[in-house]
Chains A and B, each alone.
Chain A
Amino acid sequence: MTGSWRVMALALSLAIGSVPMGLLVPRAVFGAGSPSGKISIDATLDRDTVAPGDVLTLTVVVRAAGLNLPAVSLPALPGVTVDRAEEAQNFSMVNGRVERTSTAVYRLIPHHEGTLQIPPLRISAGSEKASTSPITITVTRSAARRGGSSAPPGATPSPASPVPSPGSASAGTPELFVKATVDRRRVFWNQQLVLKLTLYSRVDIIGDPDVSPPSTAGFWTEGLGAPRVGRAARNGAQYTVMEIRTALFPTRTGTLTIGSARIRCRVARVTQPPDPWSMLAVPDVISQDVTLASDPITIVVDPLPRGAPQGFQGAVGDFRLDLHVDGLTARAGEPVTARATIRGTGNIAAVRDPEIRARGAARQYVAGSSTRIDRSGDELVGEREIDVAFVADQPGILEILPVKFAWFDPEAKRYRSQTSEGVKVKVLPGSFSGVIPGRAQTPGPVVAALRPIPGPFGTLTLDPPAESAGILGCSILAYAAAMVTGRARRRRFRDPRLVRARAIQEILDRDVARAHALASRNQSAGAAALAEHALRAGMSLRYDADVAGLARGEWTQKLLARGAGAEEIAALQSLFDSLAAIAYAPPETRSSGAKQAIAEVRRMLERYRRELQP
């Protein structure tokens, strides 16, 4: 047998579930509380030196003042198998102050020698923080404990005996194979069945086998402790066997398949020397990687029969209900705790708590709950506890009503139920100082008085009022329309022809209008000069040519080059001549001619403006 197998066998003496929590002797405590003491965390190790494959127990206790208990989890530890074995919660109330305690028990199995460091476990609740100190564990083979090993049924426990060499085996028997078996192939929904994965070996295995568990879609799986190691005879040959057991609970009906498990391991093979008579010949040992696979198994899952009793919540197995009340007398304001315990064989982790009610209680609290699972046996067994605290404010009788629990017994194929006795608790007058949990106590700031008149009125939903939604929707559309309109207008205003047309309009509005006003006041010379200036400017804008200050011949050439027609040139020259004549004509003949000429200039400029507009 290789060292790792031997160590595994030794570890079985401390198999999961075999060490009761209360019997552990703590070797080291690592913990601290927050500065205000509202939360604290303690981590306790049963010992700080172990052998590889040995089991050590880490107990983590978290306390918190208040209802909310901070969560803590163990970080991943390389080379260590971590199993959260047990968990329990406690609730206490003293003078209206609530304290909750959570206890988690971890079983750690280190696989390699060396120093194992568990980093500080940290918790926080609001501004409160607490953490443990780092925990150091020494893993050494010298700490190995000697003890018996648990072996699979039918096998002979002999962990220390050597594995026979292949050459000594019976002919026709494989050296190494794996077999998957179940204890029953037809079950009810949520009924327990046990899958055994057994590795048979007649050769030395180097290191730990790498086991890939089978796919168990449609099942709730629970491991049944550490692997069992022993010896067994099969077809006349002796094998070293390793058995891995798993409890399965089908979560749906029909035909389900347990897939193929794969085991990879490295075996040591001894080859004989070529010359058996040579005294110096040393046998060769070579290693070989082997991959084994088990056969798939088909399971038929039947639905539960009809006729489930009232209160049945899906528990399947063999269970028992106990109800315990912590006292038959209590004082008003003090809690009375009723504990319902369900224990038995089955998927205890999935069992729903029975309802515990009382008559005459002012308030009730779920004071705590815990689940303990024993994985050391052939089947999954355990117990679940639920604590409910009842508080009566007035003296009298507090009656804990009978508690009922129903389950389906798959062996008897019928439903069973159990109802506890009711318990009457005598409530005496209270002795406390008026502190009632859940009730307002000493007044702090002054409470504002009631309102004598109604109002204001409003809605409690956060949805938009219809009118606001309407305004918002319309605003979005109108804003988009404004953006489109503004953009179009800006684009138009950037058009050069339009800019020139607007300039002509400004000339009309400013200069021509002023010329007309001067003419009306008999200032014909000034009006004619202004009209001539306006016409020259309008001409420049219309043909996009600067003609200011040019002589007649020059601007004529320029306008012709810009596309003006001969008729247009002639009309302009005629109009300029008229305006010049008005400027130099006798005053009594100027007025009517000036108005006529200015009107002609206006018509000319308006025509220019129209021609420039798109």
Chain B
Amino acid sequence: MSLRVAIGGLALATALAWGAPAAAGQSPAARADAAALFNAGTAALSSGDLGPAVLFLLAAHRIDPRARDIRTNLAIARARVEDIQGQGTRESVPMPSALALSASEAWRLSAALALAGTLLAWGSALRPGSRRLFLAASAAFAAGLLLAGFLLLRAREEARHPEAVVVAPVLEVGAAPDERPLPPYLLGAGEVVRIGRTHGDLVLVRVSGNAIGWARRSGLWRVADAARYTARSGSR
């Protein structure tokens, strides 16, 4: 009985969480076309512009992470970036996982889990003797909250230090104007970094959580802004 109630609650919560976006609707301006981004990335890949290729394909992968064509071309672009830099071999670059969820899907899953946990918790509250129902409610709700916490941390990191791709052939990362000069650190086209605060025309570049220096802002494009650089995406 409890199991049937649990499954029913989970199904209802999932339907509510997944159906809500359609009912609520989203701002058209905030939505990007994965096909347009994929086509822009593939065109850049064919012409050898690895920076824009990685950027557009990474952006398309954010929207449609399970699409095989996007994963294939993104793996090829990354392999070429590493090949150009003399690091690794082409075979060593793995294809992104086919089991990934986009950010909005992950958020919906966390909402569905939390909602299912809530429904089951109410069922447990109204039937005080059902321990299995209470455990199922606690597990579903905790899973939803944990997933939401992880996604929140990821979103906060993206807000503070957005992911960006080097689009210049070679980008020099050095010291700020008022800092003691350092030997330049060179980033190649297609390398993925995170960026921090800005200083005039310069932006702080971070790799693996550490700030490595300042670089020209024009040499880095944010993944979140990728739709602005394509002609056919960004509207629906």
Residues of A within 8 A of B (CB): 38, 65-69, 87, 89, 91, 96-98, 100, 102, 125-126, 220, 313-314, 349-350, 352, 363-366, 369, 371, 436-441, 444-451, 453-472, 475-476, 478-479, 482-483, 485-486, 489-490, 493
Residue pairs across A and B with Cβ atoms less than 8 A apart, 30 shown, are A65-B86, A67-B85, A67-B170, A67-B186, A67-B187, A89-B184, A97-B86, A125-B87, A349-B181, A365-B169, A369-B183, A369-B184, A437-B169, A438-B84, A447-B45, A447-B46, A448-B73, A456-B35, A457-B31, A459-B63, A461-B103, A461-B155, A462-B154, A465-B26, A467-B17, A470-B20, A471-B115, A472-B110, A486-B126, A486-B134
A171 to B103, CA, bound (A): 87
A204 to B75, CA, bound (A): 73
Q: By the criterion CB–CB under 8 Å, are B118 and A457 in contact?
A: no
Name the B residues within 8 Å of A461 (CB-CB).
Answer: 30, 103, 155, 158, 224
The interface residues of chain B, by DSSP majority, are classed as helix
The interface residues of chain A, by DSSP majority, are classed as mixed
B39 within 8 A of A: yes
Q: By the criterion CB–CB under 8 Å, are A441 and B141 in contact?
A: no
User: In the complex, how many residues of chain B place their beta carbon closer than 8 angstroms to a beta carbon of chain A?
Assistant: 94
A313 to B33, CA, bound (A): 43
From A66, A444, A463, contact of B155 by CB (8 A): A463
Name the A residues within 8 Å of B69 (CB-CB).
Answer: 448-449, 451
Name the B residues within 8 Å of A467 (CB-CB).
Answer: 17, 20-21, 23-24, 111
- Scan residues 45-71 of chain B and give those whose CB is less than 8 A from a CB of chain A: 45-48, 50, 59, 62-64, 68-70
- Which of A69, A449, A459 gathers most chain B CB within 10 Å? A459
Closest 5 CB pairs of A and B: A486-B125, A439-B48, A448-B69, A458-B63, A66-B86
Q: By the criterion CB–CB under 8 Å, are B63 and A457 in contact?
A: yes
A444: nearest chain-B partner, CB-CB: B90
From A98, A459, A468, contact of B110 by CB (8 A): A468
Q: By the criterion CB–CB under 8 Å, are B125 and A458 in contact?
A: no
Residues of B within 8 A of A (CB): 16-17, 20-21, 23-24, 26, 30-36, 38-39, 42-43, 45-48, 50, 59, 62-64, 68-70, 72-73, 75-76, 79-80, 83-88, 90, 102-104, 107-108, 110-112, 114-115, 117-118, 121-122, 124-126, 128-129, 134, 137, 141, 144-145, 148, 151-152, 154-155, 158-159, 169-170, 172, 177, 180-181, 183-189, 223-227, 232, 236
- Given known pairs A444-B79, A447-B42, the reply for A472 and B85 (CB within 8 Å) is no
From B50, B188, B223, contact of A460 by CB (8 A): B223
Least distance between A88 CB and chain B CB atoms (Å): 9
B102: nearest chain-A partner, CB-CB: A458
Q: By the criterion CB–CB under 8 Å, are B122 and A438 in contact?
A: no
Least distance between B5 CB and chain A CB atoms (Å): 13
- Which of A98, A366, A475 gathers most chain B CB within 10 Å? A475
Q: By the criterion CB–CB under 8 Å, are A445 and B75 in contact?
A: yes
Q: By the criterion CB–CB under 8 Å, are B86 and A98 in contact?
A: yes
B104: nearest chain-A partner, CB-CB: A465
Q: By the criterion CB–CB under 8 Å, are A472 and B103 in contact?
A: no
From A102, A458, A489, contact of B64 by CB (8 A): A458
Q: By the criterion CB–CB under 8 Å, are A448 and B110 in contact?
A: no
Q: By the criterion CB–CB under 8 Å, are A462 and B103 in contact?
A: yes
Name the A residues within 8 Å of B107 (CB-CB).
Answer: 464-465, 468-469
Least distance between A80 CB and chain B CB atoms (Å): 24
Name the B residues within 8 Å of A98 (CB-CB).
Answer: 84-86
A369 to B175, CA, bound (A): 13
Name the A residues within 8 Å of B184 (CB-CB).
Answer: 89, 366, 369
Q: By the criterion CB–CB under 8 Å, are B159 and A126 in contact?
A: no
A457 to B102, CA, bound (A): 11
Name the B residues within 8 Å of A482 (CB-CB).
Answer: 118, 121-122, 124-125, 137
Q: By the criterion CB–CB under 8 Å, are A349 and B63 in contact?
A: no
Name the B residues within 8 Å of A456 (CB-CB).
Answer: 34-35, 63-64
A364 to B171, CA, bound (A): 10
A450 to B33, CA, bound (A): 13
Least distance between A380 CB and chain B CB atoms (Å): 14
- Given known pairs A350-B180, A472-B114, the reply for A457 and B32 (CB within 8 Å) is yes
- Given known pairs A97-B86, A448-B68, A464-B155, the reply for A459 and B125 (CB within 8 Å) is no
Name the B residues within 8 Å of A100 (CB-CB).
Answer: 186
Least distance between B79 CB and chain A CB atoms (Å): 6
- Given known pairs A439-B48, A472-B110, A482-B124, the reply for A450 and B144 (CB within 8 Å) is no
A371 to B180, CA, bound (A): 12
Least distance between A249 CB and chain B CB atoms (Å): 11
Name the B residues within 8 Å of A486 (CB-CB).
Answer: 121, 124-126, 128, 134
From B35, B125, B126, B183, contact of A89 by CB (8 A): B183
Name the A residues within 8 Å of B236 (CB-CB).
Answer: 454, 457
Name the A residues within 8 Å of B170 (CB-CB).
Answer: 67, 363-366, 438
- Which of B42, B45, B70, B111 gathers most chain A CB within 10 Å? B111
Q: By the criterion CB–CB under 8 Å, are A459 and B118 in contact?
A: no
Least distance between A360 CB and chain B CB atoms (Å): 16
- Given known pairs A98-B85, A444-B90, A489-B128, the reply for A460 and B62 (CB within 8 Å) is yes
Q: By the criterion CB–CB under 8 Å, are A471 and B20 in contact?
A: yes
A251: nearest chain-B partner, CB-CB: B178
Q: By the criterion CB–CB under 8 Å, are B111 and A475 in contact?
A: yes
Name the B residues within 8 Å of A437 (CB-CB).
Answer: 84, 169
Knowing that A365-B186, A445-B76, A476-B145 touch, tell me 6 more A-B residue pairs with CB under 8 angstroms: A65-B86, A96-B84, A450-B43, A459-B30, A459-B63, A471-B111
Name the A residues within 8 Å of B226 (CB-CB).
Answer: 460
Name the A residues within 8 Å of B169 (CB-CB).
Answer: 363-365, 437-438
Q: By the criterion CB–CB under 8 Å, are A458 and B31 in contact?
A: yes
Least distance between A439 CB and chain B CB atoms (Å): 3
A71: nearest chain-B partner, CB-CB: B183
A98 to B59, CA, bound (A): 29
A462 to B226, CA, bound (A): 14
Name the B residues within 8 Å of A438 (CB-CB).
Answer: 48, 50, 84, 169-170, 188-189
Name the B residues within 8 Å of A493 (CB-CB).
Answer: 128-129
A453: nearest chain-B partner, CB-CB: B35
Least distance between A240 CB and chain B CB atoms (Å): 36
Q: By the criterion CB–CB under 8 Å, are B183 and A87 in contact?
A: yes
